Structure 1
Amino acid sequence: MITMQDIVREGHPSLRKVADDVALPPSKEDQEILIKLLEYVKNSQDPEISAKYGLRSGVGLAAPQINVSKRMLAVHVTDNKGTLYSYALFNPKIISHSVEKAYLTSGEGCLSVDRAVPGYVPRYARVTVKGWDVEGNEVKIRLKGLPAIVFQHEIDHLNGIMFYDHIDEKNPLSPIPDALPIER
């Protein structure tokens, strides 16, 4: 089980490295890591389990955040209609995206960042992500709204990018032109 002690914090070198592709079909070890990533995100959203183990609630986690520099991530998030997006993927990549941008009005947070970083993070409003599930089967997902933002945040981790790298330093809270504001 992954705990908060396993999650590396900003400044750790693995958060700034471009992660390596996972060889497919996945090894047993890689499958176990991927399962544990999703398990953490689910457990962190369960009030009893998160209290018992001191887990900070999250909607996504990427392997570099546990000091594993491989392209794998897990997302467990519900959109504004109540649809659950629960995925654990190897080698995920954005294969298409909208021109339109979106941002969370509350800003973004990160399990690897122990401080509030105010500011709007411009993201694509809609993305299509392709990856491979724990068994090595290809998966293609069309996303919009909060799930699209969460996937982009986690994929950034695989490329050594932190969410605050996208924030306008001079005007962190100035609305992003022509972007869709998303309440969370």
Structure 2
Amino acid sequence: MITMDDIIRDGHPTLRKTAEEVIMPPSEEDKQILNSLLDYVINSQNNEVAEKYGLRPGIGLAAPQINVSKRMIAVHVTGDRDELYSYALFNPRIISHSVEKAYLKSGEGCLSVDESFPGYVPRYARVTVKGFNADGEEVKIRLKGLPAICFQHEIDHLNGIMFYDHIDKVNPFKPLDGAIEIER
């Protein structure tokens, strides 16, 4: 089981590396790592489990955050119509996206970042993601709103990009023209 002690913090070199593709079909070890990422995110949202094991709540986690530089992410998040997006993916990639942008009104946070980075993080409002599930089967997901933002945040981790890299350094709360503001 992944705990907060397993999650590396901002400044660790692995967080700035481009993660390696996972060879398909995935090895048992890779499947185990992928499933443990999803288990962490699900457990972190259960108040009793999170308190018992000292887990910081999160809606997504990428393998580089546990110092495994491989292209794996897990997301467990509810969309705007209470639909659950619970996915653990190997080699996820954005295959299409909207021109329209979106951002979280409250800003973004990260399990690997302890300090606060206030500001708007511009993201695509809608994305289509392709990847492979734990069984090595191809999955294609269309996303919008918070789930779209979460997937983009986690895929950024696979490319060595942190959420605060997207924040305007001069004016962090500069209005984003025509972007959708998402409440969380």
Are residue 132 (structure 1) and residue 123 (structure 2) matched?
Answer: no
SS in 1 for 2:15: helix
Offset of residue 80 of structure 1: 1.5
1:80 corresponding residue in structure 2: 80
Deviations 1:138-161 (A, max 9, x none): 000000000000000000000000
Gaps of 5+ in 1: none
Measured in 2, the distance between the counterparts of 1:27 and 1:57 equals 28
Offset of residue 174 of structure 1: 1.4
Are residue 29 (structure 1) and residue 29 (structure 2) matched?
Answer: yes
Instruction: Provide the alpha-carbon RMSD of the alignment.
Output: 0.3
Measured in 1, the distance between the counterparts of 2:152 and 2:158 equals 10
Deviations 1:90-143 (A, max 9, x none): 000000000000000000000000011100000000000000000000000000
Are residue 141 (structure 1) and residue 141 (structure 2) matched?
Answer: yes
Deviations 1:32-71 (A, max 9, x none): 0000000000000000000000000000000000000000
Residue 183 of structure 2 aligns to which amino acid in structure 1? E
Measured in 2, the distance between the counterparts of 1:138 and 1:165 equals 30
2:154 corresponding residue in structure 1: 154
Measured in 2, the distance between the counterparts of 1:94 and 1:111 equals 22
Gaps of 5+ in 2: none
Deviations 1:66-92 (A, max 9, x none): 000000000000011100000000000
2:111 corresponding residue in structure 1: 111
Measured in 2, the distance between the counterparts of 1:152 and 1:93 equals 9
Measured in 2, the distance between the counterparts of 1:175 and 1:146 equals 19
Residue 141 of structure 1 aligns to which amino acid in structure 2? I
TM-score normalized with structure 2 length: 1.00
Identity %: 73
Task: Write out the 4+ residue segments of structure 1 that deviate beyond 3 Å after TM superposition.
Answer: none
Measured in 2, the distance between the counterparts of 1:117 and 1:57 equals 18
Measured in 2, the distance between the counterparts of 1:20 and 1:79 equals 29
2:53 corresponding residue in structure 1: 53
Are residue 9 (structure 1) and residue 9 (structure 2) matched?
Answer: yes
TM-score normalized with structure 1 length: 1.00
1:177 corresponding residue in structure 2: 177
Offset of residue 175 of structure 1: 1.4
Measured in 2, the distance between the counterparts of 1:57 and 1:153 equals 16
2:120 corresponding residue in structure 1: 120
Measured in 2, the distance between the counterparts of 1:16 and 1:71 equals 13
Aligned length: 184
